[in-house]
């Protein structure tokens, strides 16, 4: 705990933490130490964990990096947080992120951007940028983020660490602030597979507080090993390597990783995915629709901030939301309200639901013939602060490769795949079929 707190203190300029629970963490460390001596310690005894600012944690501040939740404190532990605590993990603080998990650069936080430790002029990715940097810069061992369309995998790639988005419904969403409920997944950042596997093992599984969570038994992820003598079949999607805007160095590194697998005797084949152009529109139509509904609860009555300049109920709602939400969140609420409006519902929302099913079926079709799909995690390495913040469409392109598994509900991981010539980390994304986390993690371990 002292080691991590030392790093948090000396790397304050990275702005990865909104709050540090130093006193509490030290106390818990003493308790856990005693339990270890008594032989009663939990599975995660002493694991120092940080939480993205979207997890309910009893009597701790919770703001989704938004002004609208100013002064709000959570009254209960979400399921994942409770399970970490029950197994004696030590929670060290909460991390900065894009407001309500909307963004790809962590520049949409009400508390200022997070800086990438690899290059302080560059973004760490988003929306879970603070949680990625917390692991990157050794401010904790493991952190939890949320991944709706890439918010764990993309920052993991930008920061040179591992980031997992499990199958939708693998981990209970109880106590996770909702963005797009049919996409939202709790994800894990770490520097190795072992820490990730044991964390997933603890937090996954059925839960009476989330009616959508899977009851499928949780496997012993930390025990599964990849058998290198077993030859596997990997597909890569041709279009992802030919996509407009993909950096040459990322393309080369991805090809190198595929070549290496081939040299080791695995089958590597190119497949077509003609739906690439539909991924981002489908994702942004459906998630903004869900967000506009989920965020209607923040109205100045029930949570956090209320505008002081109001005269009646109507103006209280309006002013609270106008002053409390940031620009990107408002843009998405408006987009989502538009696609759900009576005259456009079928043209946009219903249509996108249909396209979503086609994307999932097509992706599952590929996975019925291959063990994994491999592609780059992102089209570029970490970009400069401010580089894309004027043009939302340009920013949305950062999610080009991560949204496929989110739209499909499938598990995917980003693992480090070297650096570009400027020393910036590159990520490799591996996607698997529903509930194949054990294979996905074991294979990742073999790969890195
Ligand atoms: N960057 C994507 C977005 O802005 C993904 C966010 C996320 O996964 N929470 O929606």
pLDDT at position 389: 87
Of 68-72, 136-140, 309-313, the one with minimum mean pLDDT is 309-313
CA of 184 to the centre of ligand 1 (A): 10
Q: What is the C-alpha separation between 287 and 285, in angstroms, rounded? A: 6
47: nearest Cα among 7, 9, 85? 85
299: nearest Cα among 288, 314, 309? 314
Per-domain boundaries in the chain: 1-448
Q: Convert the pLDDT of each residue in 169-203 to its tens digit.
A: 999 999 999 999 999 999 999 999 999 999 999 99
ipTM value: 0.97
Which atom belonging to ligand 1 lies closest to the Cα atom of 283?
Answer: 10
Q: Convert the pLDDT of each residue in 107-123 to its tens digit.
A: 999 999 999 999 999 99
Q: Distance from CA of residue 113 to its chain's centroid?
A: 17
187: nearest Cα among 157, 156, 144? 144
* Whether pLDDT at 65 is above 90: yes
Q: Convert the pLDDT of each residue in 224-249 to its tens digit.
A: 899 989 999 999 999 899 888 899 99
402 lines ligand 1 (CB under 6 A): no
127 lines ligand 1 (CB under 6 A): yes
Q: Convert the pLDDT of each residue in 18-48 to its tens digit.
A: 999 999 999 999 999 999 999 999 999 999 9
Which atom belonging to ligand 1 lies closest to the Cα atom of 179?
Answer: 9
Q: What is the C-alpha separation between 176 and 179, in angstroms, rounded? A: 9
CA of 187 to the centre of ligand 1 (A): 13
CA of 154 to the centre of ligand 1 (A): 9
pLDDT at position 99: 98
329 lines ligand 1 (CB under 6 A): no
pLDDT at position 341: 96
pLDDT at position 394: 84
Q: What is the C-alpha separation between 254 and 325, in angstroms, rounded? A: 39
- How many CB atoms sit inside 10 A of residue 119's CB? 17
- 1-448 under CATH 3.40.50.150, yes or no: no
- Report the SS3 class of residue 66: coil
Per the prediction, the chain carries an average pLDDT of: 97
Neighbouring-strand partners of residue 61: 73
Largest CA distance in the chain: 72
224 is catalytic: no
Determine which one of 11, 28, 52, 253 is catalytic.
52
Which atom belonging to ligand 1 lies closest to the Cα atom of 328?
Answer: 4
Q: What is the C-alpha separation between 293 and 88, in angstroms, rounded? A: 36
Strand order through the sheet with 372-376: 17-20, 90-95, 48-52, 142-147, 185-190, 162-165, 412-419, 425-431, 372-376, 233-237, 267-271
265: nearest Cα among 241, 295, 234, 237? 234
CA angle 327, 328, 333 (to 5 degrees): 100
35 is catalytic: no
Which atom belonging to ligand 1 lies closest to the Cα atom of 398?
Answer: 1
pLDDT at position 391: 87
149 lines ligand 1 (CB under 6 A): yes
Q: What is the C-alpha separation between 85 and 296, in angstroms, rounded? A: 31
351 is catalytic: no
25: nearest Cα among 97, 88, 95? 88
CA of 443 to the centre of ligand 1 (A): 26
Q: Convert the pLDDT of each residue in 280-329 to its tens digit.
A: 999 999 999 999 999 999 999 989 999 998 999 999 999 999 999 999 99
CA of 82 to the centre of ligand 1 (A): 25
Which atom belonging to ligand 1 lies closest to the Cα atom of 180?
Answer: 9
Mutation probe of ligand 1 site: the residue of 53, 66, 126, 409 with most atoms within 8 A of C-beta: 126
Determine which one of 66, 151, 169, 172 is catalytic.
151
177 lines ligand 1 (CB under 6 A): no
Determine which one of 127, 143, 414, 444 is catalytic.
127
Mean pLDDT on 372-382: 97
Q: Convert the pLDDT of each residue in 384-401 to its tens digit.
A: 999 998 888 888 888 999
């Amino acid at each position: 705990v002292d080691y991590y707190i030392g790093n948090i203190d000396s790397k304050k300029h990275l702005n990865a933490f909104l709050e540090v629970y130093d006193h509490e963490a030290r106390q818990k460390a003493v308790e856990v130490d005693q339990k270890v001596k008594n032989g009663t310690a939990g599975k995660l005894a002493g694991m120092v964990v940080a939480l993205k600012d979207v997890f309910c944690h009893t009597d701790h501040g919770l703001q989704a990096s938004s002004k609208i939740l100013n002064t709000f404190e959570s009254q209960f532990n979400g399921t994942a947080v409770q399970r970490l605590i029950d197994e004696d993990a030590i929670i060290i603080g909460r991390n900065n992120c894009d407001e309500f998990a909307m963004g790809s650069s962590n520049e949409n936080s009400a508390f200022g951007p997070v800086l990438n430790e690899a290059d302080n002029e560059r973004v760490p990715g988003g929306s879970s940028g603070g949680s990625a940097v917390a692991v990157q810069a050794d401010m904790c061992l493991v952190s939890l983020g949320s991944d709706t369309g890439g918010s764990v995998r993309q920052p993991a790639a930008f920061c040179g660490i591992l980031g997992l988005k499990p199958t939708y419904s693998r981990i209970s969403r109880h106590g996770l602030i909702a963005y797009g409920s049919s996409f939202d997944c709790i994800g894990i950042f770490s520097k190795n597979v072992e820490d990730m596997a044991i964390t997933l093992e603890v937090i996954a599984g059925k839960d009476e507080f989330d009616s959508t969570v899977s009851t499928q038994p949780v496997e012993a992820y930390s025990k599964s090993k990849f058998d290198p003598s077993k030859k596997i079949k990997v597909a890569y999607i041709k279009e992802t390597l030919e996509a407009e805007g993909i950096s040459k160095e990322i393309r080369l590194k991805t090809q190198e990783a595929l070549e290496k697998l081939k040299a080791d005797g695995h089958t590597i084949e190119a497949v077509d995915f003609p739906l690439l152009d539909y991924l981002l529109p489908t994702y942004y139509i459906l998630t903004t629709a869900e967000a506009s509904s989920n965020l209607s609860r923040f109205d100045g009555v029930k949570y956090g901030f209320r505008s002081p300049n109001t005269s009646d109920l109507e103006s209280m709602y309006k002013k609270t939301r106008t002053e409390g939400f940031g620009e990107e969140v408002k843009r998405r609420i408006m987009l989502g309200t538009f696609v759900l409006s009576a005259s456009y519902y079928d043209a946009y929302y219903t249509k996108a639901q249909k396209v979503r099913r086609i994307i999932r079926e097509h992706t599952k079709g590929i996975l019925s013939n291959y063990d994994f799909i491999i592609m780059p995690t992102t089209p570029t390495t970490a970009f400069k602060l401010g580089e894309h913040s004027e043009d939302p469409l340009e920013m949305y392109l950062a999610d080009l490769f991560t949204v496929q598994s989110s739209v499909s509900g499938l598990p995917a991981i980003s693992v480090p795949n070297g650096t570009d010539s400027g020393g910036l980390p590159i990520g490799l994304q591996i996607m698997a079929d529903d509930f194949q986390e054990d294979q996905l993690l074991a294979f990742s371990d073999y790969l890195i």
